[in-house]
């Protein structure tokens, strides 16, 4: 099967279904996307940021700023504050900022919905909307036809059932615009379903996923944000899905791997089906280090 390139950058996702994103993020059914704007603002600009010029009959023209993150990072409030100000300065329209977190933080912190600081009697405040995908009811995706969330269905609240994933896949494949995001749905399905089930549903060669920029991007984001613990949690979760419950000695062995070794394991485990596969991989790693 030919690889379908996909990424988690909001620029890419928003460009495929801008009206769907805008309506869901603002709760405005009558919103119109006027233009997808350049979100590279001076020293800020990554694939995880997107900026839309939108309008509604009641609110008029404004900017919708979307920040999509694999996991929440403590610097996000400051980042949203800076990005919002720069966007407003450049385009001279009001800004509606939204922070979307895909997966829970490993330590499950309280995620603030504003930036607030005070220095020498001067106070700064920037509010923004926070959406945690694991708290979003999967039924909303189908009832309100939120097409932009179809790739994330497996990790939504109530979205981990096989029949729900199958429904999301049918709707993705029925929409030519979104069909290229099938690999994203495949990836998140492995978080909640056994590998053979995912392969059967998707008719997908998981070796393709191993080479996909999608998996590489997810782990790259974790490394850039200093989220080694998040990377570790993800690897342990996927291992459990593929080979069953790990005993404590194996868990500790995995916990002792370096970031680079975790990345290698994250790619290799897509081919695991039994506990012995993991044991053999770890044995090979130990052997290569001793040579």
**pLDDT tens by residue, 53-111:** 999 999 999 999 999 888 888 889 999 999 999 999 999 999 999 999 988 876 556 89
> Is 163 exposed, middle or buried, given 0-12, 13-18 or 19+ CB atoms closer than 10 A?
exposed
Inform me whether the pLDDT recorded for 5 exceeds 60: no
Residue boundaries of the structural domains of the chain: 10-135, 149-290
CA torsion 100-4-20-86 (nearest 10°) is 50
Supply the pTM of this predicted model: 0.70
Q: Using DSSP, how many helices (H) and how many strands (E) does the chain show? A: 13, 7
**Rounded Cα gap, residues 66 and 59, in angstroms:** 18
pLDDT at position 197, please? 82
Cβ of 180: how many Cβ atoms within 10 Å? 15
**Rounded Cα gap, residues 218 and 270, in angstroms:** 15
Q: Which residue has the higher pLDDT, 190 or 83?
A: 83
**Rounded Cα gap, residues 207 and 264, in angstroms:** 14
Inform me whether the pLDDT recorded for 232 exceeds 50: yes
Grouping H, G, I as helix, E, B as strand and the rest as coil, residue 56 is strand
**Rounded Cα gap, residues 167 and 229, in angstroms:** 33
Cα 46 to chain centroid distance, Å, stands at 14
Residue 120: pLDDT band (50, 70, 90) is: very high
**Rounded Cα gap, residues 253 and 266, in angstroms:** 14
Inform me whether the pLDDT recorded for 235 exceeds 80: yes
Q: Who's near 266: CB < 8 A, 6+ residues apart?
A: 215, 219, 231, 234, 235, 238
Strand ranges in the chain using DSSP code E only, listed in sequence order: 32-37, 49-56, 60-69, 95-101, 114-119, 122-127, 129-132
Pairing outcome for strands 32-37 and 122-127: unpaired
Residue 225: pLDDT band (50, 70, 90) is: very low
Grouping H, G, I as helix, E, B as strand and the rest as coil, residue 4 is coil
């Amino acid at each position: 099967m030919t690889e379908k390139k996909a990424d988690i950058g909001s620029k890419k996702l928003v460009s495929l279904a801008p009206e769907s994103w805008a309506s869901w993020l603002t709760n405005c059914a009558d919103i119109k996307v006027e233009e997808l704007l350049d979100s590279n603002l001076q020293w800020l600009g990554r694939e995880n940021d997107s900026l839309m010029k939108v309008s509604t009959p009641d609110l008029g023209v404004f900017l919708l700023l979307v920040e999509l993150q694999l996991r929440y990072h403590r610097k996000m409030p400051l980042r949203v504050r800076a990005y919002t100000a720069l966007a407003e300065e450049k385009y001279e329209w009001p800004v509606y900022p939204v922070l979307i977190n895909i997966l829970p933080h490993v330590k499950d912190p309280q995620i603030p919905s504003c930036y607030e600081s005070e220095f020498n009697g001067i106070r700064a405040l920037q509010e923004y909307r926070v959406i945690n995908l694991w708290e979003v009811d999967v039924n909303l995706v189908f009832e309100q036809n939120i097409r932009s969330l179809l790739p994330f269905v497996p990790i939504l609240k109530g979205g981990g059932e096989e029949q729900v994933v199958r429904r999301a896949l049918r709707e993705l494949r029925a929409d030519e615009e979104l069909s290229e995001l099938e690999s994203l749905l495949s990836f998140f399905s492995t978080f909640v379903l056994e590998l053979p089930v995912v392969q059967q549903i998707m008719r997908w060669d998981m070796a393709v996923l191993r080479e996909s920029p999608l998996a590489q991007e997810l782990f790259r984001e974790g490394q850039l944000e200093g989220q080694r613990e998040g990377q570790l949690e993800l690897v342990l979760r996927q291992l459990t899905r593929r080979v069953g419950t790990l005993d404590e000695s194996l868990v500790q062995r995995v916990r002792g791997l370096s970031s680079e070794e975790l990345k290698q394991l994250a790619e290799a485990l897509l081919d695991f089906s039994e506990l012995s596969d993991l044991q053999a991989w770890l044995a090979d790693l130990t052997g290569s280090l001793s040579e």
